[in-house]
């Protein structure tokens, strides 16, 4: 038994004429032949769609993505891809530097060759993307290394020194990384590669990369926007295009498939998504830096409601597993959100695996104070 990958969504909102034309072109044939012919086995982990996406993005404040055209092991630093010695040393280096490490490659045949700047002898080199995601200081850089081993000689723990040492180029447009890591989970390859290929046909060169495991293959196809760290799941071709164009041209995160921002905790991610969805109902959109969420205790959140003269909802009082956050807008408005974790039907965490416990983060209440 298989399920065809045929999602359908409404046309994303756009204001820029070029952006709008691109979006309309995407919707004129909503799913390309690549996606329409993709069949997903019945034991695939991404077939479940009842888990809320908000609050599921992997955590990272900075990313280091190395172009690698060879085979990727199940874990890119398990020794099978880069060798045990280099993998161990690189794993320690990126961990100490607080970096999330990924492998990347371009789509299709371009994924078989390197795209870094040629060295002095004219030899191809590895492209490296370096993203700083702290809100207000988001920057995406690109530089090249002759070999992966060269990364160990760089000051990975010092952004300014790293930028200077590599002559890194500050990118003037974002990049979208789509997970296509088949060794980690087949859903990412089956569902992610068609999305990446479609985007490559439309977006500028070097804007789209296939990447290794980012977390959350149960939400495949998944994508990450750098340098903001906004993470998406259950992408379709139109929603993936909207995710890129909305941030690239308007600095506003598209809400379809939004899982959260990698710089935030799961509760903060869920709160931002909830507030953005609430504002969208009123026709209001907010830029990527326009909202800041802070996870807090249920007691503080309830006191904030009472201080604003709002009676706490009954379901939030004396709730043993209540999660809460305060979300502030740059214009001074603040919202309180409450969540609870609810159990879901057991399902595989990875394709082909047996059932495991699962939960979803449910929004209990949202109030502006």
The string of DSSP codes covering 294-328 is EEE-HHHHHHHHHHTT-PPPGGGTT-TT-EEEEEE
Helix (H) or strand (E) holding 337: strand 334-347
| Between 32 and 354, residue with greater pLDDT | 354
Burial class of residue 23 in the structure, from the number of CB atoms within 10 Å of its CB (0-12 exposed, 13-18 middle, 19+ buried): buried
Q: What is the pLDDT of residues 55-97, one digit of tens each?
A: 999 999 999 999 999 888 888 899 999 999 999 999 999 999 9
Rounded CA-CA distance 211/188 in Å is 10
Please state the rounded mean pLDDT for residues 4-29: 41
Q: Do 57 and 272 touch, CB atoms closer than 8 A?
A: no
pTM here? 0.88
pLDDT for position 188: 78
Stronger pLDDT, 102 or 46, i.e. the higher one = 102
Of the pLDDT bands very low, low, confident and very high (cuts 50, 70, 90), residue 186 is confident
Q: What is the arithmetic mean of pLDDT over 173-200? A: 87
φ/ψ (deg, to 5) at 10: -70, 160
Structure tokens that stand for 95 in this block? 């961990």
């Amino acid at each position: 038994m298989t399920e065809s990958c045929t999602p359908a969504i409404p046309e994303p909102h756009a204001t820029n004429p070029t952006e709008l034309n691109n979006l309309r072109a995407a919707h004129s044939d909503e799913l390309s032949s690549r996606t329409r012919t993709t069949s997903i086995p019945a034991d695939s982990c991404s077939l479940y769609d009842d888990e809320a996406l908000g609050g599921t993005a992997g955590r990272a404040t900075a990313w280091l993505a190395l172009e690698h055209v060879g085979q990727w092991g199940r874990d890119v630093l398990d020794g099978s891809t880069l060798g045990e010695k280099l993998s161990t040393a690189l794993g320690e280096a990126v961990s100490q530097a607080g970096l999330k490490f990924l492998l990347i490659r371009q789509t299709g045949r371009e994924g078989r060759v390197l795209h870094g700047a040629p060295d002095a002898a004219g030899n191809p080199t590895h492209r490296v993307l370096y993203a700083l995601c702290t809100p207000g200081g988001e920057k995406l850089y690109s530089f090249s290394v002759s070999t992966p081993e060269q990364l160990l000689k760089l000051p990975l723990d010092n952004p300014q020194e790293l930028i200077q040492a590599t002559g890194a180029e500050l990118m003037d447009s974002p990049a979208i990384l789509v997970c296509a890591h088949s060794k980690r989970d087949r859903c990412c390859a089956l569902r992610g590669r068609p999305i990446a290929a479609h985007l490559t046909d439309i977006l500028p060169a070097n804007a789209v990369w296939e990447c290794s495991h980012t977390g959350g293959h149960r939400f495949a196809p998944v994508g990450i926007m750098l340098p903001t760290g906004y993470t998406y799941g259950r992408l379709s071709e139109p929603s993936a295009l909207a995710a890129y164009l909305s941030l690239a041209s308007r600095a506003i995160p598209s809400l379809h498939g939004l899982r959260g921002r990698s710089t935030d905790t799961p509760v903060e991610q869920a709160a931002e998504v909830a507030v953005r969805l609430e504002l969208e109902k009123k026709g209001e959109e907010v830029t990527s830096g326009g909202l800041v969420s802070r996870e807090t205790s249920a007691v503080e959140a309830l006191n904030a409601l009472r201080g604003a003269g709002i009676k706490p909802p009954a379901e939030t009082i004396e709730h043993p597993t209540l999660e809460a956050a305060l979300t502030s807008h740059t214009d001074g408005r603040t919202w309180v959100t409450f969540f609870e974790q609810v159990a879901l039907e057991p399902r595989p965490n990875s394709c082909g695996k047996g059932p495991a416990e699962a939960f979803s983060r449910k929004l209990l209440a949202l109030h502006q104070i």
